[in-house]
Structure 1
Amino acid sequence: MLVENYQLEIVNSECMPGAMGVHCFAHLDQDVAGAIPYVNAVLGGSVYIKSPPSVTFKAQGKLLTIHQDRISVNALKDEAEARKIVEWLIREINDAWENRESITPSYEAMPQPKLMDILKLLPKTNCRECKEPTCLVFATRLAEGAKGVEDCPPLTPENRKKLERYLGGFNFNF
């Protein structure tokens, strides 16, 4: 096991002190730089930086970044959500590290969903039933992982399946 312990630091946004969400840093007890390319290969990071090594993922409207000595996550409800996500990422780091012999490391960002591919499958009525002002904004939120296909009530069953299949290759749940 590569990472066994961490210290969680919860912070409020400095640029928005009255914001409802919090951010967290999980300070790791072990340097995970060597595991980052393997985690990237398994989870498909949207941003990969070679030096110093880090990988960033977009999921459910959050940015999750693994650095060599810490994990950072933004837009959290509370400490419980922070712990859930950090512990999931630590499991992913440990699993990737333990299985590294069967994983080809990736040093590049993975392809991300294309906005126009998503928009083509939406009804394009701007009905606002999804709580977004337009279908384009909703498509953007889908691409970010902040919304799900179930949030679009007028979506046809056929296009719902196509969209779920398409987005399934990009998003993950923790």
Structure 2
Amino acid sequence: MLLSGYTREIFRPECNPSFTSLHCIAHLREDVSEALPYLNAVLGGTQYFVDPPAVMFHHQGKIIRVGAREIAINALKDEEEADRILEWMKNEINQAWKDREGITPCYAGRAKPKLLEILRLLPRTNCGKCGRPTCMAFAALVVEGGRGQEHCPELIEENRLKLSDYLGRFVFD
């Protein structure tokens, strides 16, 4: 076992104390930096950082950042949710480390669609029928997986198919 435990802090964001969600930082007892490329390979991190080593995940609407000596999680509803996610991450770190001989380490984040490639296929009329004020704002949601080609009523069929094909190359949470 690589990671034996942690201590955690739960807090509300200082930038906006009226937020109802909580944040959590777990201070790890051990340095898990050597396990991060294996964890990234297993869970498919959205971003990987080499120096200092860290991997970022999007999981059930939360952003989870695992560094050498800490795990940070945002948008938590309560302390119990923080504990569940921390235990899950601890188990995933330990399992990835245990199985490392059979895992090809990954030092890159998961590829994301390019905003300009999406925008190029949109009608660029800024009609607002998708619920967004501009095609650029709509494209930004598509990049994050929050919208798809079916949410643009003005998209011509040829571009709808091209956008569907393009987005099919990516994995969204």
TM-score, normalized by length of structure 1?
0.70
Which residue number in structure 1 is paired with residue 119 of structure 2? 119
- Residues 103-118 of structure 1 aligned to structure 2 (within 5 Å): 103-118=103-118
Structure 1 residue 54: deviation in Å? 1.6
Bigger CA drift: 156-165 or 100-109? Answer: 156-165
Q: State the alpha-carbon separation in 1 of the partners of residues 142 and 83 from structure 2.
A: 24
Structure 2 vs 1, CA of residues 163 and 9 (structure 1 numbering), >3 Å: closer, same or farther? Answer: farther
Which residue number in structure 2 is paired with residue 167 of structure 1? 170
Bigger CA drift: 149-158 or 56-65? Answer: 149-158
Percent identity for Structure 1 against Structure 2: 43
SS in structure 2 opposite 1:167?
coil
Structure 2 vs 1, CA of residues 110 and 134 (structure 1 numbering), >3 Å: closer, same or farther? Answer: same
Q: State the alpha-carbon separation in 2 of the partners of residues 151 and 11 from structure 1.
A: 39
Unaligned runs of at least 5 residues, structure 1: none
Q: State the alpha-carbon separation in 1 of the partners of residues 80 and 167 from structure 2.
A: 28
- Residues 1-174 of structure 1 aligned to structure 2 (within 5 Å): 1-3=1-3, 5-42=5-42, 43-51=44-52, 53-58=53-58, 62-122=62-122, 124=124, 126-128=126-128, 130-145=130-145, 147-149=146-148, 152=151, 154=153, 158=161, 161-162=164-165, 164-168=167-171, 171-172=172-173
Q: Alpha-carbon deviations, 1:76-108, whole Å to 9, x = none?
A: 344354345434433432332122112222334
Q: State the alpha-carbon separation in 2 of the partners of residues 55 and 33 from structure 1.
A: 10
Structure 2 vs 1, CA of residues 158 and 111 (structure 1 numbering), >3 Å: closer, same or farther? Answer: closer
Structure 1 residue 114: deviation in Å? 1.1
Is contact 1:122–1:159 with CA below 8 Å preserved after alignment? no
Amino acid at match of 2:47: S
Structure 2 vs 1, CA of residues 81 and 149 (structure 1 numbering), >3 Å: closer, same or farther? Answer: farther
In the alignment of these two chains, the number of paired residues is 168
Structure 2 vs 1, CA of residues 141 and 103 (structure 1 numbering), >3 Å: closer, same or farther? Answer: same
Q: State the alpha-carbon separation in 1 of the partners of residues 24 and 112 from structure 2.
A: 25
Larger radius of gyration: 2
Q: Which has the higher contact order (CA 8 A, sep 6+)?
A: 1
